[in-house]
Amino acid sequence: MRHAIQWIRSLLFIIQMYIMLPIVGFVGVPLVWIKRDNAFKVIHFYCNWVRWTASWMIGLKSEIRGDVPTGEVLIAAKHQSFFDILLIASVLPRLKFIYKSQLKWAPIINIYAVYTNSVPVNRGKKGAAMKQMVSAVKDGQKEPGQLVIFPQGTRVAAGAKKPYKVGIGVLYDETGLPVVPASTNVGVFWKRHGIMRHPGLAVVEFHDPIEPGLEVDTCMAEVEDAVETGSNALMEEAGLRLES
């Protein structure tokens, strides 16, 4: 019975979340046209709306740990579900994302991607995609912000293993920017697929920055160690037993 009630609460939460997305998005468009920086305010409002409704509709509280990056940095973040994106976006003052180019056809998402100077990447040929990404990111440095990239390239279920792609290391080397690793345990409560959302405490944790000047391989190793070690600790704190 309790499981069924939580499932219904999860369904209602999801419905209102996706209803609010176009409402907030379209209402915010005139504000963005008036002033570009209003795009960040609209995004912050929506993300915090979802965090707030999650806390009382499904019992999923959320918390940000560590120092939130405010300067021009790269953020290498663990990605387990849509909710970790929202948590990160709720606190970064001038967020930008690396995102798959297919999302350019999503009207609301594309409007705000453009106005936040986010970077679309075609997942086709790897070499061409990498050059495109580096070029676009360098152009975007004219408007400083916090550029979020998911170094594993996709959502990874809580406790699952997936290799890290070299993109974050290449960007680190080409841009000369520090990298801030970010861990999460969101996937314990909010799975990649399905309707059920579980109560608990979802956390995104920012770690100490990796300063410029390292070799790409060294940077990649430090990013993976910080993100994975931090995420494992958070997932175990949330009650997930990990295989050693």
Average the pLDDT over 187-215 and give the result: 95
- CA–CA separation, 235 and 16 (whole Å): 27
pLDDT at 190 over 70: yes
How far apart CA 129 and CA 141 sit, in angstroms, is: 18
Average pLDDT, stretch 192-221? Answer: 95
| pLDDT for 138 beyond 70 | no
**Residue (of 5, 66, 55) closest to 201 by Cα position:** 55
Cα first-last separation, the chain: 34
76-100 pLDDT per residue, tens: 999 999 999 999 999 999 999 887 7
Per-residue pLDDT reduced to its tens digit, 112-130: 888 888 877 776 555 555 6
Taking a C-beta distance cutoff of 8 angstroms, is the pair 184, 234 a contact? yes
What percent of the chain is modeled with pLDDT above 70?
88
- Bigger pLDDT: 13 or 125? 13
Confidence (pTM): 0.91
Confidence grade of residue 31 (pLDDT, cut at 50, 70, 90)? very high
From CA 170, how far away is CA 220, in angstroms rounded? 9
pLDDT of residue 238: 92
